[in-house]
């Protein structure tokens, strides 16, 4: 269920949408994944570099899986970064398969309904598409193209996962994808929060991953372990 302290869904100027894979293969890193989402929220609000805290920035968190159909569950809806209540494993646990295309399309539609001025869509998964029934590859590619046409940012994060074939096939540029090791999920999401704040405040035109970001995320270690 959504956080009881969530605000109404009236349009906010800046809104982060986090789509978290909750499928069975996430079990080994589930606590770290949830912790990294909380780290993102904390980093989005925490004052940095003389900028005021991002209390007006909103965060929506959805988890997804396929178990006798698509499950797309909203754990937080337009929650302010300032009032964020940490998400825990009591609210959702890993299960099922990976309807990645269906879930991404749902998240884009949710953002379009909210219609924020600036938005970042963060997709975090540890696997490949294998269960979508509602949306084709071309359909989700078109949805992401609509998001990008609005000037919104979309990034694809591999949690202990470095095979970005699906991301590339739906139009994700290499600079928008990054693999993260289990031990570096928290650090990587805090860094992403900092980038998000610069984008939300118009100090940066886009959100892209640098070589330093990849080093801190442990991307090469993940590629080596996974044979990518």
pLDDT per position as a tens digit, 59-96: 999 999 999 999 999 999 999 999 999 999 999 999 99
For residue 3, what pLDDT is reported?
A: 44
pLDDT per residue as tens digits for the range 17-69: 999 999 999 999 999 999 999 999 999 998 887 767 777 899 999 999 999 99
Q: Could you tell me if residue 208 is inside a domain?
A: yes
Domain annotation covers residue 9: no
pLDDT band at 9 (very low <50, low <70, confident <90, very high): very low
Q: Is residue 2 part of a domain?
A: no
- 40-to-67, 112, 134 alpha-carbon distances in Å: 28, 22, 30
Q: Structurally, how many domains does the chain consist of?
A: 1
pLDDT (0 to 100) of residue 7:
41
Q: What is residue 11's predicted lDDT score, i.e. its pLDDT?
A: 62
Q: Is residue 3 part of a domain?
A: no
pLDDT in tens, 183-197: 999 999 999 999 999
Assigned domain for 97 exists: yes
Q: Give me the pLDDT at residue 227, please.
A: 81
Query: What 3-state class would DSSP assign to 89?
Result: coil
Do 105 and 144 touch, CB atoms closer than 8 A? no
pLDDT tens-digit readout, 116-138: 999 999 999 999 999 999 999 99
Confidence of residue 109 (pLDDT cuts 50, 70, 90): very high
In a domain, 19, yes or no: yes
Provide the CATH number for the domain around residue 207. Answer: 3.40.50.410
Give the domain range for residue 154: 14-226
CA distance 99 to 24: 12
Confidence of residue 6 (pLDDT cuts 50, 70, 90): very low
Question: CA angle, 88 as apex, 86 and 94 as ends, to 5°?
Answer: 140
Residue 158's CB is within 10 A of a number of other CB atoms, namely: 26
Ranking 6-15, 39-48, 105-114, 181-190 by mean pLDDT, the lowest is 6-15
Q: How many other β-carbons are positioned within 10 Å of the β-carbon of residue 108?
A: 24
Residue 6 inside a domain? The answer is: no
pLDDT, one tens digit per residue, over 206-219 is 999 999 999 999 99
Q: Residue 65: its pLDDT value, please? A: 98
Q: Is the residue at 138 inside a domain?
A: yes
Q: In this predicted structure, what is the pLDDT of residue 48?
A: 80
């Amino acid at each position: 269920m959504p956080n009881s302290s969530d605000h109404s869904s009236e349009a906010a100027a800046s809104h982060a949408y986090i789509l978290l894979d909750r499928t069975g293969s996430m079990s080994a890193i589930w606590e770290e994944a949830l912790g990294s989402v909380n780290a993102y929220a904390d980093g989005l609000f925490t004052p940095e570099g003389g900028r005021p805290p991002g209390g007006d920035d909103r965060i929506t968190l959805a988890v997804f899986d396929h178990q006798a159909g698509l499950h797309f569950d909203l754990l937080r809806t337009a929650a302010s970064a300032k009032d964020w209540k940490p998400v825990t494993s009591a609210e959702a646990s890993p299960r099922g398969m990976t309807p990645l295309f269906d879930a991404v399309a749902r998240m884009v539609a949710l953002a379009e309904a909210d219609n924020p001025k600036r938005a970042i869509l963060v997709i975090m998964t540890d696997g490949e598409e294998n269960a979508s029934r509602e949306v084709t590859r071309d359909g989700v590619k078109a949805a992401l193209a609509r998001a990008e046409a609005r000037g919104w940012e979309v990034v694809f994060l591999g949690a202990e996962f470095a095979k970005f074939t699906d991301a590339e096939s739906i139009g994700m540029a290499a600079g928008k994808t990054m693999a993260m090791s289990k031990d570096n999920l928290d650090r990587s999401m805090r860094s992403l929060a900092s980038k998000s704040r610069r984008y939300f405040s118009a100090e940066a035109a886009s959100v892209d991953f640098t070589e330093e970001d990849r080093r801190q995320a442990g991307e090469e270690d993940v590629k080596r372990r996974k044979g990518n």
